[in-house]
A and B are shown apart, each in its own frame.
Chain A
Amino acid sequence: MSEGALPKEDAVLRVDDLQKSFGGLAATDHATFAVERGTITGLIGPNGAGKSTLFNLISGFYEPDGGTVEVNGTDVTGMEPYEVAEHGLIRTFQTPRKLEGMTVREAMLVGPRNQPGESFIKLFATPGSVSESESANLADAERILEDFEIDHLATQPATDISGGQMKLVELARAMLAEPEVLLLDEPVAGVNPTLAKKLKEQIRRLNEQGTTFLLIEHDMEFVMDLADPIVVLDQGHVLTEGTPEGVRNDDRVIDAYLGGGT
């Protein structure tokens, strides 16, 4: 079932024998793989291979029918998404999520976890600590926006920026949550080539600074250039895992893409 999965010593995310079916149809079929700390791991597969379902299972949005998910050695199977996030796994969405009525800066500030100001009591009991952390978060947000070269958008309405810029903001916001492993669902879908290049540079830079990535992407060139290793999903199970080179030359992968899986 999980043939081809590479042995991992320091896995930040471990998926074991994960199963999920909808109306009798197996969307995730005994999937097993792991994400090694410090890597950018790619997750590819033909349409309908179950990549998004897998993301939803890992991040707690779906409850698996069987199998386990471990983040940092903790079993997070069946936990709520926010609990999974608390263990260091943050995800983004395929379609950028719009935060109506917020500026980019405000939308960014949703990112940091465990803000004292998120406790209603503290707003009135210790407003000082709320102020302090809000100032610090605001500074962080502005610094990251500068790093991403989109600081000029800070006070723009979050709904008024382009789709590509939204993807950048989403990535930047996810970084404010200080994830150990970040799941990106098609980070460059619908993004123009210039911005896609910028996103690639940012992901690489953040990876060098220590963040582990797992990303779904249809743009083969993008994923082959960025990710190593690459996990190939077909009909809900892991077909193989390997280097971009190895995957590219694997006949089974080519068959899966050509035949739509048989």
Chain B
Amino acid sequence: MSFLDDPKGAFADLTRPERWVLGVSVAFMLFLLGALLTGALGPTYFLFLVGLAGMYALLSFGLNAQWGFTGLINFSVAAFFGIGAYGSALMTAESSPIAGGFNPLVGLVVALVVALVLALLIGIPTLRLRADYLAIASLGLAEVVRLVVLNERWLTNGSAGVRGIPSFFQGWPVLSTFPETMPGLRLVVIPGSPIILGTSFWQSLLNVLLVLTFAGVTFFVLRRAHQSPWGRVLRTIRSDEDLARALGKNTYSFKMQSFILGSLIMALAGVFYTHLNLYVGPGDLDPITTFYAWVAVILGGSGSNRGALFGGIVIVTIREGTRFLNDVALPIDPAPMRLLLIGVVIVAVMRYRPQGILPPQRELIWPSAVDDRGTPETPDSGVREQKGGGGDE
């Protein structure tokens, strides 16, 4: 049933939380649209926010592939994000202490390869560990990575960070000069407060298209993987690893695959961030980034890709909302406010809705196999309603 054919019916099909999320999202969009049209929200800044939301969504997708699918407690999200960001920055920036000046596509490939190596380095020792030991060990190893980035000045510029990073489309035909060649537009919606769309707007638009591409491809890959027998083995490991082993599944290998997949997606988020922010520093490897991703995933619903998307948007709202509040209303430092909100959201989710807001609801069987048999059934009640905190020990 497509939403366009039968909007009413499609709406009735949604679960209550789905309707709720849909309602809030629509209201939020209208609010943003209003802010845009009245000039309260600059269109370039708006696009920056969309890019940021896409980045957090990517980060959450990556964590979802590890924790949501397989139950791996990875507290080294920030390390992979940072490695992706640094990998790309060091290859492309003019001020890079090592290579520098390469095409951003080279940066992308190098970043992913380095992230793969790091995933193997962290994964090989820790993936045999009990779930809670994995949490502690991965947080410790992420800290080691951060210390290396901070202290090895010959490689990373140390605490000064890397500047002079080009846009992702540098050196591409057409796109590299697209923002400059586009004419400046002047829109007048409300008389007296015109909206100017200049070079920076077009640049932001390109960035948004880039992150949409990254996130779109990732979403497609993860959705197929989640519905596949491969994803089913991961879900079995999450519930009961011994059962998977008894049934002949090489769980260590599956865990490694899931860990690498997630890590590459996190590095992809880092690559995008590098070319969005045009500066990276050791502060980008702060553990808070890890926990932003965690909040997004457990809030959205562990194992749910659209939940991760929703969680990513909430994170940007918290991040930028606190800044906004600080600017207009409360003279409170936004950093601890963010921390407080993140903390409250974690506790509230675990207390009132441990399965998250949009837990995966439907049976996950390779779609064409189910269609062949003409039984596109869905269970009466949500399959995952019981519990979402984690696998049984």
Contacts and interface: CB of A to CB of B under 8 A. Distances in A.
Interface of A: 59-61, 80-82, 85-86, 90-93, 97-103, 105-106, 109-111, 113, 115-120, 123-124, 130-131, 134-135, 137-139, 142, 155-157, 159, 173-174, 177
Interface string B367-384: 011101100011101011
A105 B232 contact: no
4 pairs of A and B residues whose beta carbons are closest in the complex: A85-B248, A117-B229, A134-B369, A81-B245
Given A82-B248, A139-B373, A173-B247, A100 B387 contact: yes
Interface stretch (B54-62, B201-209, B249-257): B249-257
13 contacts: A80-B250, A85-B245, A85-B246, A85-B248, A98-B239, A98-B392, A99-B243, A102-B383, A110-B232, A120-B230, A123-B228, A123-B230, A157-B383
Contacts of A155: 363, 377-379
Interface in B125-145: none
B83 interface: no
Nearest to B221: A124
A117 B243 CA distance: 19
Interface string B281-301: 000000000000000000000
B37 interface: no
Given A118-B229, A123-B230, A155-B377, A82 B363 contact: no
Given A92-B246, A99-B240, A101-B360, 8 more contacts: A82-B248, A90-B248, A98-B240, A118-B228, A120-B230, A123-B228, A137-B369, A177-B247
Contacts, number: 143
B383 A135 contact: no
Contacts of A100: 238-239, 384, 386-387, 391-392
Contacts of B87: none
A100 B364 CA distance: 13
Contact of A106 (B225, B246, B363): B363
A100 B391 CA distance: 8
Given A111-B247, A155-B363, A120 B261 contact: yes
A134 to B, nearest CB: 4
B236 to A, nearest CB: 5
B243 A97 contact: yes
B225 A123 contact: yes
A118 B229 CA distance: 5
A112 B366 CA distance: 15
A85 B247 contact: yes
Contacts of A123: 224-225, 228, 230
B246 A59 contact: yes
A177 B236 CA distance: 15
Interface in B212-251: 221, 224-225, 228-230, 232-233, 235-236, 238-240, 242-251
B365 interface: yes
Contact of A110 (B233, B261, B384): B233
B74 to A, nearest CB: 18
Contact of A103 (B239, B379, B386, B391): B379
Contacts of B257: 120
B247, B360, B365, B387, most chain A CB atoms within 10 A: B247
